[in-house]
Structure 1
Amino acid sequence: MDPRIRDHAQTVIDHSTDIDSGDRVVIGAPAAASDLVIALYEECANRGAHPVSLQNDSRATRAFLQNYTDTDDFETPSHLLALYQEMDTYIAIRGDENATETADVNPETNAAYRRAMQPVLQERLSKTWCLTQYPTTGNAQLAGMSTEAYENFVWDAVGLDWNAQREHQSQLVDILADADEVRIQSGSNTDVTMRIAGNTALNDYGEKNLPGGEVFTAPIKHSVEGEVHFDMPLYRQGREIEDVRVQFNEGYVESYSAGRNETVLDGIFATDEGARYLGELGIGMNRAIDQFSYNMLFDEKMGDTVHMAVGSAYAETVGEDNERNESAEHVDMIVDMSEDSTIEVDGEIIQRNGTFIFEEEF
């Protein structure tokens, strides 16, 4: 076994989830990530924790969704929900042998399935959890890298000095802590404002997401105004969505378009009412991730980027006096902020062309 796999497992157990004796741990992973699952089991045994693993198989998921006859009849799997209710910690491992496995599933079917699974997702998110990546050949191919290069890319990003990253990102957390309005401009097609007063900006330094490397919060639900050109592509439901443009009015996605696979957006926005409001504003700060890889776990953390997610807001980012946006969806989309771009907080520019006010190059 590559020693970096055991290093990865130790980071998940010690840094991201802080697993202790007696903890009940559920690990969801594809078969291709079995080495990391084994390493996690070893680490759980060393700490007296009790792991259970679930195999996440995209081919099986596709077979189920393609053959289910009545999508209006999807039910929340109560047996899976019961498992999550009993666990203390959930570790999700991504790793695709075929990143486009579910590309031919009807977007409306996907939306119906996500609605049925929402209680399961909410239960998972209420516990200690970590989402991470195993470097598979399918994801390497999607990123346009050799297998070896992709392994180096993943494990370099996972093995960052997270204490140093936390300190660096805390400077942005301090700026946003008492902020009211954020304005994001990029090129001639992105100019959007939103209020965040009363909401909490969180410092993601490799805990819930590994790799981490962002500061994120929730906008006040009805405060988002303006237009955004998400000029970096995203992969969703096995399809590449490009050139997304969204117009917000009083927080609501009033209109939208995409240069490719707009039908996937149709399904996302039709999922439920909350899918047409923003649930997250995130600002990428991980400069160790310096290559776009068609993997949102990494791409949204890149320095010189901003991402916004339509759909559910993380409960811990929403102040008790503000309304939390709820949805079965949470879909991140990215704006490149490296050129002709600014972030303003209460009228003051705090980032220009990807460089923050607290960095020497500003």
Structure 2
Amino acid sequence: MSPKQLQAYASLLVNYCVELQPGERLFVSSTTLAAPLIAALQEAVLKAGGHLEYHLAVEGSAAAYRDYASPEQYAHVGTLYQKAMEEFEAYINIGAPFSLRDEQPAKELRDARRASHKPFHDRYFARTANRDAPGGLKRNTCVFPCPALAEEAGMSLEEYTDFVMQATKATSPDPKAAWLDVRKRQQAVVDRLNSCTEFRYVNPRTDITFTTNGRTWINSDGQTNMPSGEVYTSPEETSVNGTIHFDYPAINSGKVVRGVTLTVKDGYIESWTAEQGQDVLDETFQIEGTRRFGEAAVGTNYTIDRFSKNILFDEKIGGTVHMAIGQSYVQCGGKNQSAVHWDMIADMKNGGRIFADGKEIYRDGRFIAELWPTS
């Protein structure tokens, strides 16, 4: 990334995404690959009057833990991470992996880590649900363009950097203003969705329904994810019925699962198949809370013009919907709890329709003109 791009991106993250205020503490988690962005963030944080602390993983540390750590060591919860989840006002997680092809730790290690981190996982969800309230946590998830992510997306590093900058609107003359425009446009959709309670997603291989009594649709405008461009909710846990097929590959800990089809009755996933990666699905559905849905959403970012094998971008693709198994969003009113929140994406551009309280509000990848004017 050029110095100009770094400055624009860092300013967007600090001043729009987490809206850091004087005296507030920002915790950043990433790897040493993101060091140039960390330096730019430091400048932006100081200008905002805040304080920056960070944890940067070094190359080889994950492999060392995988090969030599005991379950107790692998489950250790870092002191700074604990304090940040409990007390800091802001948190940014920057994806910048050294590799996406590393061998995964043994299940025993992963289970131990999942159990030890659960209290902080729960605390994170509770605080982010009350972002702007006293004691809330302003958080954002983003990426730093690096060779592993570029390779996964099938792009050169230069192409991938341009892709990220376009998707995040960091190349706009005023990135913050561009995201405020997204907020305004999506609010019209959210207002309509929140006036309804019964929803149906339909395409040639999907017909699934759910209700949202007591739930809220959220306008995701770039403050919790960068990039964003989606509207989402947590369906009533026992209300989901039907079948949904996910056209796009679903990535879980670097493992690719293709052609997933789920059959659901009264909110409970009764059966599942995958054209590739059946074993990954089988293992995942043994984890508590994964056989109910935590999210239903619609992607609205039409500047994300290709699949990149990164859910942060792919779930936002304009013309798609996604549903996530596992953990619900507390801020939506969701009640399902799980250590897993796994998004899966369905294409709606060819024959896809969404109905709200029996009325069609979306066809072939677009909300109706009343909700999403083309001009």
Q: Give yes or no for TM over 0.5.
A: yes
Of 234-243 and 138-147, the range deviating more from structure 2: 234-243
Asked if structure 2 preserves the Cα contact closer than 8 Å seen for 1:195 and 1:224, the reply is yes
Of 239-248 and 51-60, the range deviating more from structure 2: 51-60
Distance across 2 between alignment mates of 1:48 and 1:217: 34
Partner residue, 2:21: 20
1:141 is the counterpart of 2:128: no
Q: Unaligned stretches of 5+ in structure 1? A: none
1:308 is the counterpart of 2:323: yes
Q: Unaligned stretches of 5+ in structure 2? A: 128-136, 170-174
1:186 is the counterpart of 2:187: no
Partner residue, 2:8: 7
Asked if structure 2 preserves the Cα contact closer than 8 Å seen for 1:107 and 1:268, the reply is no
Deviation string, structure 1 residues 206-257 (Cα, Å, up to 9, x no partner): 1000111000001000100011111100221111111111111111111112
Q: TM-score scaled by structure 2?
A: 0.89
1:262 is the counterpart of 2:263: no
Q: How does 1:137-286 map to 2 (within 5 A)?
A: 137-159=147-169, 161-187=178-204, 189-272=205-288, 274-286=289-301
Shift in Å, 1:87: 1.3
Of 218-227 and 124-133, the range deviating more from structure 2: 124-133
Query: Which secondary structure does the structure 2 equivalent of 1:185 belong to?
Result: strand
Shift in Å, 1:24: 1.3
1:297 is the counterpart of 2:312: yes
The one-letter amino acid of 2:11's match is Q
Deviation string, structure 1 residues 249-295 (Cα, Å, up to 9, x no partner): 111111112122222222322221x1111000110001111111000
The one-letter amino acid of 1:87's match is F
User: How many residues are aligned here?
Assistant: 353
Deviation string, structure 1 residues 280-332 (Cα, Å, up to 9, x no partner): 011000111111100000000010000101111111111xxxx6111111100
Distance across 1 between alignment mates of 2:84 and 2:188: 39
Q: How does 1:71-110 map to 2 (within 5 A)?
A: 75=75, 77=77, 79=79, 80-101=81-102, 103-106=103-106, 109-110=109-110
Query: Runs of 4+ in structure 1 displaced over 6 angstroms?
Result: none
Deviation string, structure 1 residues 174-227 (Cα, Å, up to 9, x no partner): 11112111100111x211000012211110111000111000001000100011
Distance across 2 between alignment mates of 1:61 and 1:253: 33
Shift in Å, 1:7: 0.5
Q: TM-score scaled by structure 1?
A: 0.92
Asked if structure 2 preserves the Cα contact closer than 8 Å seen for 1:76 and 1:120, the reply is no
Asked if structure 2 preserves the Cα contact closer than 8 Å seen for 1:169 and 1:215, the reply is yes
Deviation string, structure 1 residues 41-63 (Cα, Å, up to 9, x no partner): 11111122111110145743343
Distance across 2 between alignment mates of 1:311 and 1:66: 29
Distance 1:204 1:310, change over 3 A: same
1:129 is the counterpart of 2:130: no
Asked if structure 2 preserves the Cα contact closer than 8 Å seen for 1:81 and 1:123, the reply is no
Asked if structure 2 preserves the Cα contact closer than 8 Å seen for 1:24 and 1:89, the reply is yes
The one-letter amino acid of 1:124's match is Y
Shift in Å, 1:111: 4.6
Distance across 1 between alignment mates of 2:58 and 2:260: 29
Asked if structure 1 preserves the Cα contact closer than 8 Å seen for 2:34 and 2:144, the reply is yes
Report the aligned-residue RMSD: 2.0
Distance 1:331 1:51, change over 3 A: same
